[in-house]
Chain A
């Protein structure tokens, strides 16, 4: 359904007020390839600044990528003009992280959800639009009478349900969930995860699930891609990736996640990856992970490793693992 080829997004950095000149690039996304099949959920994980959100924004064409192709149902989205994007946006929606800032505080919940329907002229009749809003609210587990409330009258979990209802308003096929459950409390997070799963089944949705919480990603996704500094370093079926991580960065990431059980924690050995994520303005040469990598050899500083399929469906960008 979605195929991303060689996607790159470089943001120019300029200097000077009057005669501004370009002095470099932030290579937020630097050559990313993946595909998502219809009905599939692909998890995109990584730490802040790894480019996962920018990747999502490029697919939604909220950014025009610097290079690469994004094929949505065979159509190249990356070079589309504004007017052609309108049709596309009915089929692709997004759920944002922060249910506080992504809902207009001056609009009633009902109007927030009805807005995309109105903008796209799907349902000109106000009465039928109201009925549709009620239906969407109840699909998302909210009482239809919430339509007359304002976002500030609701809890974080309820607001996120409103964000989901809005994303569903146009019957999309594909939804980018950008940290959709990260801002929620533990007890509410599980409710929303379950809702996303139910909706996927009910409406045959395809998700790109962008998150940093690995345990949620493992629960919800069929396939997972791990990003580091603008590149995918490992990609595999969910169980394979978590049971058998091959890239040293994925291993470091997994061992860093604390398990909510003191007995397990007491027996675990973890060596936190040393150092910090380098700047995407001037990324390390060769393999971008080499300065923090316990397995790095001389060669890693020179050649950029390519994603290789080491086992069926399991892709790793590391020259040292076999």
Chain B
């Protein structure tokens, strides 16, 4: 069976005054039915633009998808018309964004935001939509759902709003939900609640999740597969356990080493990734991480290393020295 979502060679670029910015520079990854896949990276790595590209929500101009295929359920989303795409968004693919206050409509009641989706996509009448909305709010753990349906977003707390976003995303029984930094704006105890909710719902309803985040802890808590992005490319991809315990790309290794961990003894000093993030308008023909890399050799400047098998099955790394890194992992991790 082909995967539910398969992204192949996706390129998205922005034309700006400073030049052409290749925000997403040829990424490929797949998401199986019911699977949770994380895209991890820092600001400017292209993770959010990847998500927006899948949903065809990149503003044009200045953005443009210049190449690639996005196969969802057997169809190439890049070949669809705007009207067909509109049918897929919200029905087959749900969305949860970072800031629940700005992604909910402030002048519509909570109930209306949910029933609107249902009426648009499923053509059901108002009373059944209302019943379904009530059921959905219950499902995402909102107490006193009947009263909440009549309230407006500003009357709800941040955590509650994010639950509503999840309810909207789930309304039409989608096969896939794309969540862009779903818990970043939330406090840690609320984050834990939302993560638990998303995890249990995706299991129960067999929804696949693409989670975009910069938080390595969040990824460890619920991703099956992880794609690490740097400067618009996926530099490492594999099962979560392999990424954390047998990382094969120097950037992943450096990232994991730079975060202090509550479950380990205090270190004398943190071990940061040296240097600054790259300027995407000034990338050369070599590996983009090279200037910050402790393992860089001359060949790193001559060609961009392709994503190639490293370590166990399904584990890919875009580093010429990934095999050596595996041998040295005891030192690194």
Binding site for B on A (CB under 8 A): 47-48, 155-158, 185-191, 193-194, 197, 212, 214-216, 218-219, 238-239, 242, 252-265, 270, 272-274, 276-277
Contacts and interface: CB of A to CB of B under 8 A. Distances in A.
Nearest to A197: B269
A253 B221 CA distance: 16
20 contacts: A158-B276, A186-B255, A187-B258, A190-B270, A212-B188, A215-B261, A218-B266, A253-B189, A254-B262, A255-B192, A258-B192, A258-B195, A258-B217, A259-B262, A260-B219, A260-B220, A260-B244, A262-B220, A262-B241, A274-B193
A262 B188 CA distance: 18
A185 B270 contact: no
A83 B130 CA distance: 62
Contacts of B240: 262
Contacts of B244: 260-263
Contact of B270 (A219, A259, A272): A219
Contacts of B190: 47, 276
B3 to A, nearest CB: 21
B257 to A, nearest CB: 9
A106 to B, nearest CB: 19
A272 B159 CA distance: 13
Contacts of A260: 216-217, 219-220, 244, 256, 259, 261
B215 interface: yes
A257 B188 contact: yes
Contact of A157 (B191, B221, B276): B276
A194 B261 contact: no
A219 B266 contact: yes
A239 B266 contact: yes
Nearest to B42: A185
Interface string B200-229: 000000000000001111111101000000
A256 B191 CA distance: 8
A186 B191 contact: no
A214 B277 CA distance: 25
A155 B196 contact: no
Nearest to B277: A155
Contact of B271 (A155, A190, A242, A274): A190
Given A158-B276, A194-B272, A215-B260, A265 B220 contact: yes
Contacts of B266: 218-219, 238-239
A276 B276 contact: no
A261 B276 CA distance: 25
A272 B189 contact: yes
Contacts of A157: 276
Contacts of B262: 214-215, 218, 242, 254, 257, 259
Given A187-B255, A194-B269, A259 B189 contact: no
Given A186-B214, A218-B266, A256-B191, A264 B260 contact: no
Contacts of B192: 255-256, 258, 270, 272-273
Nearest to A157: B276
Nearest to B242: A262
B263 interface: yes
A157 B42 CA distance: 12
A191 B272 contact: yes
B254 interface: yes
A261 B263 contact: yes
B43 interface: yes
Nearest to B267: A219
A104 to B, nearest CB: 22
Given A216-B260, A276-B157, A186 B189 contact: no
A212 B215 CA distance: 14
Interface string B120-144: 0000000000000000000000000
A259 B263 contact: yes
B245 A256 contact: no
Given A187-B273, A188-B277, A215-B260, 5 more contacts: A190-B271, A214-B188, A258-B220, A261-B244, A263-B245
B314 interface: no
A155 B241 CA distance: 32
B213 to A, nearest CB: 10
Q: Nearest 7 A-B pairs (CB), nearest first?
A: A258-B217, A190-B272, A187-B273, A260-B216, A256-B192, A47-B187, A185-B42
A300 B230 CA distance: 50
Q: Which of B159, B254, B276 has the most CB of A within 10 A?
A: B276
B164 interface: no
B160 interface: yes
Contacts of B218: 258
Contacts of A187: 42, 254-255, 258, 272-273, 277, 292
Contact of B261 (A47, A256, A259): A259
Contacts of B245: 261, 263
Contacts of A276: 157, 159-160, 190
A197 B266 CA distance: 14
B258 A252 contact: no
A185 B259 CA distance: 11
A257 B216 contact: no
A262 to B, nearest CB: 5
A185 to B, nearest CB: 4
B6 to A, nearest CB: 24
A219 B321 CA distance: 32
Contacts of A259: 217, 220, 261-263
A272 B196 contact: yes
Contacts of A218: 260, 262, 266
Most buried by B among A219, A239, A260, A263: A260
Nearest to A156: B43
A156 B44 CA distance: 11
Contacts of B191: 256, 258
Contact of A190 (B42, B196, B221, B273): B273
